[in-house]
Amino acid sequence: MAFARFLRPLPPTIRFLFWAVGLNIVAFTAFRIVFWLAFRSSAAEAPTGDLLRAFYLGLKFDLRLALLICLPPLALAAFPFLNPARRPRAQTLWLGYFAVAQAVVVFLYFVDLGHYSYVRARLNATLLEHLQPVSIAMQMAWETYPVLWGLAVVGVLVALYLVLLRRLAVPELRLSGSALGRWTRRGILLAVLALYGLGIFGKWSWYPLRWSDAYFTQNDFVAAVALNPILYLADTYDNRTKDFDKRLVRQHYDEVAKLLGVQAPDPARLSFERYVAPNPRPGAPLNLVVIHLESFAGFKAGAFGNPLNATPSFDALAKDGILFTNFFVPAVPTARSVFTMLTGIPDNNRVPAAVSRGNR
């Protein structure tokens, strides 16, 4: 094969990792196509150019993930007893690592498909809030998704990946590189490592490729197509514990206080206290019924444009009553929505929801 001849000057372990990276990119691209096919109705007539750019950015994210997966074996190859080209027994360790890594990645891709179907968001750190309490979360997953079939498909895909890895990559470990001079080999190795680092960095700029680069358009689905769910989960997980920057708050305090309608601005204390005078109590009791529905997302309702007519009763109420279209909560989990609905105050607790904290 021409590709194999192109790789021949490289060390055997590098050639092995080239195949591993290539197979992962093919797999990740297939998952991206499946995601687009499954949810393309959400595209809302997105321009073809935006979708093509999203796939291009997605390819760069996929390349980064594939390179990061292969980074530990690349480091281990520096030790002769862990180098599979020198120690055949090390091949078992390498294949075991790739089997475990691939199982985790494929499983998370399946979770991402279910997560997007449920909340219309790619897999992110809010998943951890949905897992509390674990018993209820597991019961919900068991009753909602084909768990056993999903795990069986994960097993089949991981097995297929290992078969291809054995057939395409492992033979490279038995072939010695082309006869090149010492400095030529070193130059090639440095070039490969430089390209490896560039692939992880993601772009030619001072700053690396970031998840925010996917939001080059106001169409959320286009951004979702561009994101890699595994990297997005890792990025949002790192941001969970980050606090606000007082310097930036102080810098923009006047603008934010004016936007929020703070009656008595206090830049020294960074106060955003607001006071709302209640309306006079009505002379007669109000006949008011509040109905709170679990997991009733707006995109599922006909009143918000869903053509499937899945919510005729709700649509009738919205048509004959008053539909509030500007009610928002700061997070996805139900507990935060309940707290906001009952109090009118956004739930800004960073770790547990205010309702969960109050129940403890």
Is residue 360's pLDDT more than 50?
no
Instruction: Summarize pLDDT for 151-181 with one digit per residue, the tens.
Output: 999 999 999 999 999 998 888 877 765 555 6
Cα–Cα distance measured from residue 127 to residue 110, given in angstroms and rounded to the nearest whole number: 13
DSSP 8-state class, residue 81 = G
Using the Cα atoms of residue 335, residue 337, residue 343 and residue 349 in order, give the sign of their dihedral: positive
Instruction: Summarize pLDDT for 259-280 with one digit per residue, the tens.
Output: 888 888 998 888 888 887 777 8
Cα–Cα distance measured from residue 356 to residue 353, given in angstroms and rounded to the nearest whole number: 5
Task: Please tell me which residue, 57 or 204, carries the higher pLDDT value.
Answer: 57
Is residue 202's pLDDT more than 70?
yes
What's the pLDDT at 183?
Answer: 67
Look up the pTM and report it: 0.76
Tell me the C-alpha to C-alpha distance, in Å, between residue 302 and each of 49, 201, 311, 319: 29, 43, 6, 11
